[in-house]
Amino acid sequence: MMAWLDSANQIWATDGGSLNELSTSIRQDLTGITQSACSLSFHTAGRFHWLVFSTGTKLFVYDIDLDQWMPPWSFSCQYLFSGETSPGNYVLQAAIPTKALQMNTTKFNDNGAPYGPTGQTNLMSVVPDFGRRFSYIASGIYSEPTRTGVPWTFQVSNNGQALSDVLVLTDDDPTKGTYQTIAGNLQDTAVTYNRSNGQFLKQLVYPLSQTPAGSSRWISFKIKLATADQVDNLYEIILAYKPLGGR
C-alpha cells in the first residue's frame, strides 16, 4: 500500500489494484496547509495499523483497520519516521527542532508535558425516536414527533479517575454556544442507586433536574479529563430524561 499528499491537499492511497482518497472527511482541516512542512508515514506495530500525517502543527492519524481518522493530535513536528529500532521493535518517531521524540504507549504526555483530553458529543435528541408504536391508551399508532423532554440525569462510567469537569449545552450550536458546568451536581451512587461503586469501575452520576432548567429538544455534553499522565478509560455515557407531562 502506498499513500501520498497531492497538490490539491488531498491524501490518496493505492494497493496497486484500486485508488482511493482517504482525506474526504478531513478536507476542511487540510485547507491552507503548508505542503513543505508536511510529512507522511505508515506505522504498523502490534495493534496499531496507521497512516500518520503531519501538517507541521497537528498530527492526523488514519486507522487502517477501522477505515477512519482519529481526532487530530495537537502536536508540532518537522518530520515523521516509523521503523525498526531493534529486532521486532517498530516505533513511531517525530523530529522537533531540538530532538527526536518516540511514541510511548504507556505514557500520556507530550515531550514531558501532561495534557487534559476532552470528549464532546454532537447534539442528541433528549427524547429518542422509538419509531412507530401502538398505544392502547391513545388507541392508535404514534411516535415521538417533537422529542422534547426534561434532561434528568447524566452518567459517566469510567475506571475511577477523577474528571476535571463535566458540562452541558441545550438547544444551541455546540461550536458556538456556552456550555454550563454540572460538576458540582455529582451524586454518590449510594443515593442514586442504593449501592456503592466498585474499586475499578465507577459510575459518576450528575442530576440535571435544576441544570439545565426546563425542557429541551437537543442536548450535548463535554467531558474534560484531568491533566495528568494517567490511563483514562471511559466506558459509557447515559442520559436519563423525563418526557413532558411525565412523572
| Per-residue pLDDT, 246 | 47
Nearest 5°: the CA angle 132, 138, 141 is: 20
Q: Taking the model in full, what pTM does it have? A: 0.75
| Per-residue pLDDT, 111 | 87
Under a CB-based contact definition with an 8 Å cutoff, are residues 234 and 142 in contact?
A: no
| Per-residue pLDDT, 110 | 86
Can you tell me the distance from the alpha carbon of 200 to that of 162, in angstroms, rounded to the nearest whole number? 12
| Per-residue pLDDT, 206 | 95
| Per-residue pLDDT, 74 | 85
Q: Which tens digit of pLDDT belongs to each residue from 34-93?
A: 999 999 999 999 999 999 999 999 999 999 999 999 989 888 898 999 999 899 899 999
| Per-residue pLDDT, 147 | 79
Q: Which grid cell is 106?
A: 504507556
Taking 70 as the pLDDT cut, the residues of the chain under it are: 131-145, 210-213, 245-247
Can you tell me the distance from the alpha carbon of 173 to that of 165, in angstroms, rounded to the nearest whole number? 20
| Per-residue pLDDT, 247 | 44
